[in-house]
Structure 1
Amino acid sequence: MKIDHSVKQLPGVAPVGEGQARPANGPASASRTSEADSVELSPLSARLQRLAQGIAGAEGMDTAKVAALKAAIAEGRLRIDPEAIADKLIEEARELLARSRG
């Protein structure tokens, strides 16, 4: 297999040697910063950041409850109430619709 060395030069990057590159001197240089430099997050990015912080602060799962459910399933003792599940799904769907409508 032949290696093709005809790579186009990227703007703001000057070739140094084989496998190495350094920032070119110019406006895109990383060494030049200003107090006026700023970053603005999109509304979606800001929302994702808030969600990530909320998840990080959330409590973990109840391992004792998980273990009890596993044991009940394994022993055939777990009773499923389809009406209760359906009622809860409908309740949550109504809450979501109410929130989305404002």
Structure 2
Amino acid sequence: MYQITYTQAALEDLQWFRKQEQATILDGIDANLQYEPTRTTRNRKPMRTNPIATWELRLGDFRVLYNVGEAVSIVEIQRIGEKRGSQFLFRGKGENL
């Protein structure tokens, strides 16, 4: 089982969402990333090279960007946002990856 940690940026991203959305995101993280976080699935995939994270978890319109420390069994959540079209939105603002 992997330990899940959050960066300060991810915690700030999470606070931007409504309480119900926060619960959905946190439940999705626990359900999808505690076991085999590097196994590609329909909602979990490696990302193209970018400065933020190596993996993406899709939870409906929400996106969780994360890195995995295989040697120490840690999943570090880097950012949490939404995806509209081809653009990532973090705290309501678009960012290019």
TM-score range, shorter chain: under 0.3
Q: Pick the structure with more helix per residue.
A: 1
Per the normalisation by structure 2, the TM-score is 0.22
Report which structure shows greater RCO (CA 8 Å, sep ≥6).
2
Structure with greater Cα Rg: 1
TM-score by length of 1: 0.21
Higher strand share: 2
